[in-house]
């Protein structure tokens, strides 16, 4: 049992939860903050993000609006336009916050941002750190989080239920190692628990992505929206050794020119969409499924053989390392791939600052539904949304701590 009352308990240690804790700690040095993670701190979907973070290009004055248009097109018209425009408009501030915190995105020989191209984008606008962007961002932020004197990190502590009381919130948790019951008390709780990919046979999600946030929200009576819109990533490794959480192959490799082929060796995407391999994820996945069903197989093939070896080694070291671990050489071999459950576009109804219909409960990141993504998330918009929501949630919570009467 724990009788101490935290100002804020944040459930989840991905980008959304970690950045909220860091920004709140910076704004309220005397606030008591606890970050809960169901596994170790580094087990989160953000850590596994290879591609990067989509942001409007600094060298194109109109790119913010083009980015908005690409997001809405990818979401098949189901996005909230005001939300999309607001989150994309805050991208420069998020980049500044991350870089000030030590994150180093790739730059070209002239020192300008080096952007990658991914499906659904009209131009290259994805900031990246090689093909391990999430790992670099999260390792940097986690190191800073561990230095915060007013932040306590409780790893291997799974939140099982949340109960709202008139003046506080009770969290019932379980130590995943020994099953011990732990009770925490907070003035406010932030749900930043990721998605629910582990409910599917094949997923890119970490083992902790079991939909806990949705279950807790339903028990609290919070509205859930668009749960039918689970996005599948087109290219995860499809070998017998890739059971459970399947390693992804970043979409930026198709942006660099890789092709998809069926078992007959035919490059099939041009038959389905003029954008070919750079169509939006829902289009690519639908094409892959049609090819697999027609050929009665569980995979298609990614062809990188025509790409420059030095470019692959220099820009996609994670991909090269994963191939080698499977005994594959992408400059010689076709790489077996299949779609996997990847991103929960729906979730807990929340505003951009994470506020929900319950004053003491916030929801941010993948478990939240803001209307940003519609029915299909544009590639690399997830880190952008999570980061912007974290900044705004921290601002709101800091104001609540400074003026506690604001919470009923």
Contacts of 67 (CB under 8 A, 6+ apart): 54, 55, 56, 88, 121, 125
Residues 272, 283: Cα–Cα separation, whole Å: 8
Residues 335, 329: Cα–Cα separation, whole Å: 8
Residue 15 tokens read as 């980008």
Q: Within 13 Å and on the Cβ side, how many CA atoms surround 292?
A: 18
Q: What are phi and psi of 255, to 5 degrees?
A: -65, -30
Q: Taking a C-beta distance cutoff of 8 angstroms, is the pair 330, 321 a contact?
A: no
| Strand, coil or helix: 134 | helix
DSSP per-residue letters across 258-270: -EEE-TTS-B-GG
Match 């070209």 to its residue by tokens: 108
Residue 366 tokens read as 């993948």
Closest Cα partner for 214 from 11, 391, 5, 18?
A: 11
Catalytic residue set: 281
Residues 160, 275: Cα–Cα separation, whole Å: 44
Closest Cα partner for 78 from 379, 376, 348?
A: 376
- C-alpha angle 395/125/104, rounded to 5°? 60
Residue 147 tokens read as 């230095």
Residue 274 tokens read as 């003029």
Assign 3-class secondary structure to 52-115.
Answer: CEECCCCCCCCHHHHHHHHHHHHCCCCCCHHHHHHHHHCHHHHHHHHHHCCCCCCECCCCCECE
């Amino acid at each position: 049992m724990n009788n101490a009352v935290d100002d804020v308990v944040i459930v989840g240690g991905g980008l959304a939860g970690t950045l909220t804790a860091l920004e709140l700690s910076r704004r309220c040095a005397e606030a008591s903050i606890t970050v809960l993670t169901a596994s170790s701190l580094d087990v989160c979907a953000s850590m596994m993000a290879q591609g990067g973070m989509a942001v409007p290009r600094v060298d194109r004055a109109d790119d913010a609006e083009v980015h908005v248009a690409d997001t809405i097109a990818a979401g098949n018209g189901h996005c909230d336009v005001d939300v999309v425009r607001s989150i994309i408009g805050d991208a420069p501030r998020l980049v500044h916050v991350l870089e000030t915190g030590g994150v180093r995105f790739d730059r070209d020989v002239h020192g300008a941002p080096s952007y990658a191209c991914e499906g659904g984008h009209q131009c290259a606008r994805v900031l990246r750190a090689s093909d391990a962007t999430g790992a670099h961002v999260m390792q940097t932020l986690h190191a800073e989080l561990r230095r915060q004197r007013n932040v306590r990190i409780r790893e291997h502590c799974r939140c099982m239920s949340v109960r709202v009381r008139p003046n506080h919130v009770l969290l019932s948790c379980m130590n995943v190692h020994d099953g011990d019951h732990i009770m925490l008390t907070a003035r406010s709780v932030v749900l930043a628990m990721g998605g629910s990919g582990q409910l599917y046979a094949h997923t890119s999600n970490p083992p902790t992505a079991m939909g806990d946030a949705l279950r807790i929200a339903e028990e609290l009576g919070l509205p859930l929206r668009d749960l039918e819109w689970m996005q599948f990533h087109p290219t995860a490794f499809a070998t017998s050794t890739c059971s459970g959480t399947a390693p992804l192959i970043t979409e930026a490799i198709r942006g660099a020119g890789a092709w998809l082929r069926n078992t007959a060796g035919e490059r099939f995407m041009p038959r389905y969409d003029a954008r070919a391999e750079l169509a939006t994820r829902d289009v690519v996945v639908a094409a892959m499924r049609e090819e697999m069903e027609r050929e009665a197989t569980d995979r298609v093939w990614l062809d990188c053989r025509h790409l420059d070896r030095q470019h692959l080694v220099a820009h996609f070291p994670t991909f090269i390392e994963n191939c080698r671990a499977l005994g594959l050489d992408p400059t010689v071999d076709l790489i077996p791939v299949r779609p996997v459950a990847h991103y929960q576009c729906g979730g807990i109804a929340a505003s951009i600052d994470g506020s929900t219909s319950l004053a003491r409960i916030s929801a941010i990141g993948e478990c939240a539904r803001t209307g940003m993504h519609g029915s299909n998330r544009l590639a690399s918009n997830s880190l952008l949304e999570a980061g912007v929501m974290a900044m705004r949630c921290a601002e709101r919570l800091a104001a609540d701590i400074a003026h506690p009467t604001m919470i009923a």
